[in-house]
Structure 1
Amino acid sequence: MASSDVKFQGWLGLDPESVKGKMQWGEFEPKKWEEEDVDIEISHCGICGSDLHMLRSGWGQTPYPCVVGHEIVGKAVRVGKNVKHIKVGDRVGVGAQARSCLEADCPECSHGLENHCARENTNTYGSIYPNGLGKSYGGYATHNRTNGHFVIKIPDGIDSADAAPMMCGGVTMYSPLRRYGCGPGKTVGIVGVGGLGHFGVLFAKALGADKVVGISRKSEKREEVLKIGADEYIATDDDGDWHKKNKRTIDLIIGTVSSAKMPLTQYLGLLKVGGTFVQVGAPDGGELPPVNAFTLIGGSIKVAGSGIGAPWEIEEMLKLAAEKNIKPWVQPRPISDANQAVVDMEAGKARYRYVLEVKKEITEKL
Structure 2
Amino acid sequence: MTSSDNFEGWLGLDKDSVKGQMKWGKFQPKKWTENEVDIEISHCGICGSDLHTLSSGWGPTPYPCVVGHEIVGKAVRVGSNVKHVKVGDRVGVGAQALSCLQSSCAACSNDLENYCGSDDKCNTYGSSYPNDEGMSYGGYADHNRTNGHFVFKIPDGLASADAAPMLCGGITVYSPLKNNGCGPGKTVGIVGVGGLGHFGILFARALGADKVVGISRKRSKEKEVLDLGADQYIATDDDQDWIAKNTRTLDLIISTVSSENMPITGYLQLLKVYGTLIQVGAPDNGSLPAINAFTLFTSGVKIGGSGVGSPKEISEMLELAAEKKIKPWVQQRPLSEANDAIVDLKNGKARFRYVLVNEKHVR
TM-score where L is the length of structure 1: 0.97
Q: How does 1:61-100 map to 2 (within 5 A)?
A: 61-100=60-99
Number of aligned residue pairs: give it. Answer: 361
Shift of 1:291: 1.1
Asked if residue 208 in structure 1 is aligned to residue 221 in structure 2, the reply is no
Cα pair distance change 1:5/1:207, threshold 3 Å? same
Asked if residue 115 in structure 1 is aligned to residue 114 in structure 2, the reply is yes
| Partner residue, 1:37 | 36
Cα pair distance change 1:263/1:5, threshold 3 Å? closer
Contact 1:35-1:81 at 8 Å conserved across structures: yes
Shift of 1:360: 2.3
Cα pair distance change 1:67/1:3, threshold 3 Å? closer
What does the per-residue CA deviation read over 1:112-131, in whole Å, with 9 as the maximum and x for residues that have no partner? 11001001320000001111
Q: Partners of 1:67 and 1:3 in 2: how far apart? A: 18
Cα pair distance change 1:5/1:269, threshold 3 Å? closer
Q: Indicate the SS of the match to 1:316.
A: helix
| Partner residue, 2:175 | 175
| Partner residue, 1:136 | 136
| Partner residue, 1:259 | 259
Give unmatched runs, 5+ long, in structure 1.
none
What does the per-residue CA deviation read over 1:251-287, in whole Å, with 9 as the maximum and x for residues that have no partner? 0000000011100000000000000000000110100
Amino acid paired to 1:170: G
Amino acid paired to 1:314: I
Amino acid paired to 2:221: K
Cα pair distance change 1:361/1:310, threshold 3 Å? closer
Cα pair distance change 1:100/1:5, threshold 3 Å? closer
Q: Indicate the SS of the match to 1:257.
A: coil
Contact 1:4-1:78 at 8 Å conserved across structures: no
| Partner residue, 1:319 | 319
Asked if residue 242 in structure 1 is aligned to residue 239 in structure 2, the reply is no
Q: Indicate the SS of the match to 1:285.
A: coil
Contact 1:69-1:140 at 8 Å conserved across structures: yes
Q: Partners of 1:4 and 1:25 in 2: how far apart? A: 18
Contact 1:96-1:168 at 8 Å conserved across structures: yes
Amino acid paired to 2:83: K
Cα RMSD of the aligned pairs, angstroms, is: 1.1
Contact 1:13-1:55 at 8 Å conserved across structures: yes
Q: How does 1:1-366 map to 2 (within 5 A)?
A: 2=1, 4=3, 7-119=6-118, 120-360=120-360
Q: Partners of 1:154 and 1:257 in 2: how far apart? A: 29
Contact 2:192-2:256 at 8 Å conserved across structures: yes
Contact 1:193-1:215 at 8 Å conserved across structures: yes
Shift of 1:361: 7.9
Identity level (%)? 72
TM-score where L is the length of structure 2: 0.98
Shift of 1:6: 6.8
Give unmatched runs, 5+ long, in structure 2.
none
Q: Partners of 1:6 and 1:84 in 2: how far apart? A: 25
What does the per-residue CA deviation read over 1:65-104, in whole Å, with 9 as the maximum and x for residues that have no partner? 0000000000000000000000000000000000000001
Q: Partners of 2:5 and 2:219 in 1: how far apart? A: 49
Contact 1:44-1:164 at 8 Å conserved across structures: yes
Contact 2:40-2:361 at 8 Å conserved across structures: no
Q: Partners of 2:86 and 2:5 in 1: how far apart? A: 17
Q: Indicate the SS of the match to 1:83.
A: coil
Amino acid paired to 2:165: P
Shift of 1:359: 2.1
Shift of 1:7: 1.9
Shift of 1:109: 0.2
Runs of 4+ displaced beyond 3 Å: 2-6
Shift of 1:24: 0.3
Q: Partners of 1:208 and 1:199 in 2: how far apart? A: 14
Q: Partners of 1:184 and 1:265 in 2: how far apart? A: 27
Q: Partners of 2:39 and 2:13 in 1: how far apart? A: 24
Contact 2:4-2:28 at 8 Å conserved across structures: no
Q: Partners of 1:122 and 1:204 in 2: how far apart? A: 29
